[in-house]
A and B are shown apart, each in its own frame.
Chain A
């Protein structure tokens, strides 16, 4: 596995009437097997950054490297989990997951698909259709689909954002377990600071539009982490303080905090 390097990346959306600069000179290096979270107010370019890394959008300046290879377009070495599961309702869970495999692997896919459904705790749901799954189960299936081709890098765009609070806590533990087993490099966008501290080796705080790295906080707590501990609380406070001092002003960031559940 290889490190992911985002080198001087800028991105501007050009509409017919106005331009919006979303990312400016963004620099970040993520070590192989590292779990990194991106936090920041809405519209600071977090999701855009993931879309650039996964290859859904190639209109940007700067470069993104995986190891020594400059990325250009999607690849099975990089998977993504969106906020919604985005499963195809007309395919069974099994076929949804197998979709992510290339022609070669699909021929003897049964074992791999089975293994990954087991990994996310969906054993026995192979033939079920997505509409029959709960939100948490559907997102698990999406995780299985993202992992089945064994990507080096897994990008998570608020993967648990649409789940209820209890399912969310449970799925955080599950994500941690899956990551510890699979050892992929994980880059996760989240609005939940506790979630970021719980899961990440490093928490990257982004400044608002245009998005840049404002601060990186290393989380050196032993896993599994205890949210009630003083160290955890101290980190939480440190991150929150960054938000209150945002240039856009206290009122604005408070609004963001309430609105986004930070």
Chain B
């Protein structure tokens, strides 16, 4: 497990290789713009995008919209994932609950998320709650499914130890079942977070008066291609940061699994 010098080198070389393609895209983008192959209305030149980014930073538009989007993500994710966790545990430990509710949940899951949008707007209006509910529905299922799968996959050997030592249902759940299912639960939560971030932008593109998605819709209507592109890059980078952070938390949490 100890990183040797060789390991260190290859690992960082690998990381550096990941930057090659973005740099080439940047180069190509610059060439296309300077040669004038594509109208700047369709593809803003890199310099203009950077300028737009600085402008948005300076007047605070980017920050305020980003914060609005992030707060929707956090609310929707927490709501959806905690419900998903609760139902995942319920289905995992109770075959009756699974038999009673799982088919319904499965049917609901078959409706594409965007298909919920009209209903959500009817019920919750176009205010904050509709976005939060939309994200929550999306975040609900990955956590639910992975929690359920994790719990059903707990080794029989562990459950037998719990039975031999007569652990109460509550202690069995907290000391044995949830820790054993944790790797699966955490990867479900990771999927939920990533999905929440994707959905907030989607929701804001459809209906919103603030947020990154709305900023981009506005910019599109005013042919500010540079602002749209700033939006795309910011969304991508934030998504990447979220995913990398969760991955690290995941490795930390389930360390006992990888260290054999």
Contacts and interface: CB of A to CB of B under 8 A. Distances in A.
B161 interface: yes
A99 B167 contact: yes
> Majority SS of interface residues in chain B?
helix
A88 B179 contact: yes
Interface string B155-166: 001101101111
Contact of B164 (A79, A84, A89): A79
Nearest to B254: A90
B166 A75 contact: yes
B257 interface: yes
B157 A74 contact: no
Contacts of B222: none
Contacts of B256: 89-90, 129, 131
Contacts of A91: 175, 179
Nearest to A82: B157
A76 B161 contact: no
Interface size class of A (residues with CB under 8 A): 20 to 34
Given A86-B158, A88-B175, A76 B166 contact: yes
B260 A131 contact: yes
B259 interface: yes
Interface in A30-73: 54-56
B74 interface: no
Nearest to B166: A74
Given A84-B157, A90-B179, A74 B257 contact: no
A86 B163 contact: no
A88 B165 CA distance: 13
B117 interface: no
A74 B164 contact: yes
A77 B180 CA distance: 27
B176 interface: yes
A165 to B, nearest CB: 23
B175 A56 contact: no
A177 B257 CA distance: 34
A29 interface: no
Nearest to B257: A89
Contacts of B179: 88, 90-91
A196 B182 CA distance: 41
Given A86-B157, A88-B176, A99 B257 contact: no
Given A56-B164, A76-B165, A99 B260 contact: no
Contacts of B176: 88
Contact of A56 (B158, B163, B257): B163
Interface string A91-105: 100000001101000
A54 B164 contact: yes
A165 B161 CA distance: 27
A79 B160 CA distance: 12
A143 interface: no
A86 B165 CA distance: 12
B8 to A, nearest CB: 25
Interface string B179-202: 110100000000000000000000
A97 B32 CA distance: 68
A89 B175 CA distance: 11
A114 B175 CA distance: 21
A80 interface: yes
Contacts of B165: 74, 76, 99-100, 145, 149
B107 to A, nearest CB: 30
Interface in A226-255: none
B175 A99 contact: yes
19 contacts: A54-B164, A74-B163, A74-B166, A76-B166, A79-B164, A80-B164, A84-B157, A86-B158, A88-B175, A89-B257, A90-B256, A91-B175, A99-B167, A102-B166, A129-B256, A131-B256, A131-B259, A131-B260, A149-B165
Given A74-B164, A89-B257, A99-B161, 18 more contacts: A54-B164, A55-B163, A56-B163, A74-B165, A74-B166, A75-B166, A76-B165, A84-B157, A86-B157, A86-B160, A86-B161, A88-B175, A88-B176, A88-B179, A90-B182, A102-B166, A129-B256, A145-B165
Considering the complex of A and B, which 9 residue pairs feature the smallest CB-CB distances, nearest first? A90-B179, A89-B256, A100-B165, A131-B259, A86-B161, A74-B164, A86-B157, A90-B256, A74-B166
